[in-house]
Amino acid sequence: MAESSGTDPTVDSNVVENAAKDRTMIVVTVKTPKDKEEIAILEDSSVAQFKEEISKRFNAKLDQLVLIFAGKILKDGDTLNQHGIKDGLTVHLVIKTAPKATSGSTSQNSASSSGTPQANSSSSASSPVPNASTPPGTGPAIQPPNLLSGFGDLSSLSGMGMGSANFMELQQQMQRQLMSNPEMLSQIMDNPLVQNMMSNPDLMRQMIVTNPQMQQLMERNPEISHMLNNPELMRQTMELARNPAMMQEMMRNQDRALSNLESIPGGYNALRRMYTDIQEPMFSAAREQFGNNPFSALGGNLDSGVQPSRTENREPLPNPWGPPGTAPSESRGTGSSTTTSSNGGTAPSVSSLPNPLGINASGLGNGVFSSPGMQSLMQQISENPQLMQNMLSAPYMRSMMQSLAQNPDLASQAMLNNPLFAGNPQLQEQLRHQMPVFLQQMQNPEALSVMTNPRAMQALMQIQQGLQTLQTEAPGLMPSLAPGGIPGIPSTTGGSVAPEGPPPPTQGSNPSADVSPSQQQQQLMQQMLQMFAGGVTTTQAVTPEVRFQQQLDQLSAMGFLNREANLQALIATGGDINAAIERLLGSQPS
């Protein structure tokens, strides 16, 4: 009996066993991509036993070890014999550092080169991070739209007067924008205005109740009114609304519950029943808007009345008091196309109601108008003056504007937080300056009456269009006509043209490269008001022309007769005449 001296505990115990049972020890090489060890083990060992030895030698946990031999992974229950592992053969080892960590084979081995573990650990640090962040990232991205779409649908029903498909598109786009950036969502939620709203359950309830469509809904589904009357539930919902992450979690749970429900025998039928009872009236009410979106409503509304938690989701919905800044972003989130696009975040859902406000806010921004959604919206509005009227007649609209007018700072801030404006500081600046004035004008009953007067709106739009045509046909002829469209809505549209009549000469005399800030602001403001009045706009194109009017005149005076080229150069150089001249000279052979 050859008992070893006991220096090698592995062999020791094995030898003892060996002596007792007369089995064969074999030496198997265990190889990692960076290291190699020879391990003695009993021939008829199981893979599990083999791993025990390996775990000791390589200083790794059992569940981190993956053994490969001859192209096959060795399972713990197998035996070495089974795989033909014999003395002198090599088994490959992979050590996993963590479930999603680096190629563990080297990182765990203390004997291996020191450089490797660091390299591995850094990559392991990086790989879990993207992995970790992806699920949450996709979570919010995926979950929120569903919720919002549910809201969006409801909002479409809620007869904001926004019975326009285009508006829903707008909502969708905004929502998508919002949803693709969870931080925006939390920003919005952090907005004090939103939070104020949320913390006033009575107000919310009132808003919900006064909505005629909602009333209809409540008649048909008493559970909803019951829910509204339950303060506890409302509070819960608002808490939930405040916390987008929680909202998403809830949505996820509900989706899971929903799918569970499906799998229960008879569950599918129950779902379908719910769907028909609840969904269809809503659907028919807003048929045109859903279009390809039956699931959005499904996702949001399906369980209304069945599970309070589901119905709760509608609670935060009617928040017309969502700040204007948030409104556009949220109001764009309607019936997104798939169930998977569920969304969290009440703010988006909330503002699905405050669409009017959304329009207001977005009406203030050039950048916003350049978005196709906005333009289609404006088109829609111009085509359907009734829309505007409905919008304005919404009761909360007035009070909202009042409160905004009283607190312009808050409004500006709210709007600035609007993700749409996030990337455009210049726009924000302009907004900040013009917000008070704008709000004043919105308060002006005359302005409102103009906006609600369909004929007046049409006339405004015609003028707008005429100006645009003129712009394109004879650029520079009436540079400030476009922006100077409407100094104030109350003033007649005709009057807006006259005062701006003779600007070119006077402006031309001003050698300064930039239009004075106040002038710029005024122009911008006028543009915005005009846009608000309705009409697809190409404000972006107008502004540079207007801004560079003086420079253009100078350039033509210097002999640069190609007005188009001049304008391009000025746009490229941002109004710097000298640089523009350089550009022009550089591009011309002369």
Q: What are the residues binding other proteins (CB under 8 A)?
A: 29, 31-33, 36, 66, 68-73, 84, 86, 88-92, 94, 96-97, 100-105, 119-120, 123, 127
Q: Which is nearer to other proteins, 108 or 173 (CB)?
A: 108
Longest dimension (CA), the chain: 117
Name the minimum Å distance from CB 32 to other proteins: 6
Name the minimum Å distance from CB 265 to other proteins: 28
Residue linked to tokens 């000791």: 56
Q: Which is nearer to other proteins, 131 or 269 (CB)?
A: 131
Q: Which is nearer to other proteins, 8 or 87 (CB)?
A: 87
What is the DSSP secondary structure assignment for residue 483, as one 8-state letter?
G
Determine the residue type at 261.
L
Return the sign of the alpha-carbon dihedral for residues 126, 128, 130, 136. Answer: negative
Query: Which of 69, 36, 38 minimizes the C-alpha distance to 53?
Result: 38
In this structure, are residues 256 and 143 in contact, taking their beta carbons and an 8 Å threshold? Answer: no
In this structure, are residues 113 and 297 in contact, taking their beta carbons and an 8 Å threshold? Answer: no
User: 382 exposed, middle or buried (CB, 10 Å; 0-12, 13-18, 19+)?
Assistant: buried
Copy the structure tokens of residue 496.
């807006």
In this structure, are residues 237 and 319 in contact, taking their beta carbons and an 8 Å threshold? Answer: no
Name the minimum Å distance from CB 71 to other proteins: 4
Q: Which of left, alpha, beta for 85 (phi over 0: left; psi -120 to 50: alpha)?
A: beta
Q: Which is nearer to other proteins, 29 or 195 (CB)?
A: 29
Query: Which of 273, 247, 249 minimizes the C-alpha distance to 261?
Result: 273
Name the minimum Å distance from CB 342 to other proteins: 21
Instruction: Report the C-alpha gap between 442 and 491 in whole angstroms.
Output: 13
Other beta carbons within 10 angstroms of residue 355's beta carbon come to 33
Instruction: Report the C-alpha gap between 197 and 210 in whole angstroms.
Output: 16
User: 424 exposed, middle or buried (CB, 10 Å; 0-12, 13-18, 19+)?
Assistant: middle
Name the minimum Å distance from CB 128 to other proteins: 11
Copy the structure tokens of residue 58.
């390589």
Give the chain's end-to-end CA distance (angstroms, integer): 105
Q: Which is nearer to other proteins, 137 or 495 (CB)?
A: 137
What is the DSSP secondary structure assignment for residue 148, as one 8-state letter?
H
Q: Which is nearer to other proteins, 120 or 380 (CB)?
A: 120
Name the minimum Å distance from CB 72 to other proteins: 5
User: 250 exposed, middle or buried (CB, 10 Å; 0-12, 13-18, 19+)?
Assistant: buried
Q: Which is nearer to other proteins, 96 or 547 (CB)?
A: 96
Q: Which is nearer to other proteins, 86 or 287 (CB)?
A: 86
Name the minimum Å distance from CB 21 to other proteins: 22
Return the sign of the alpha-carbon dihedral for residues 366, 370, 371, 375. Answer: positive
Name the minimum Å distance from CB 38 to other proteins: 12
Name the minimum Å distance from CB 177 to other proteins: 23
Name the minimum Å distance from CB 85 to other proteins: 8
Q: Which is nearer to other proteins, 89 or 541 (CB)?
A: 89
Q: Which is nearer to other proteins, 9 or 136 (CB)?
A: 136
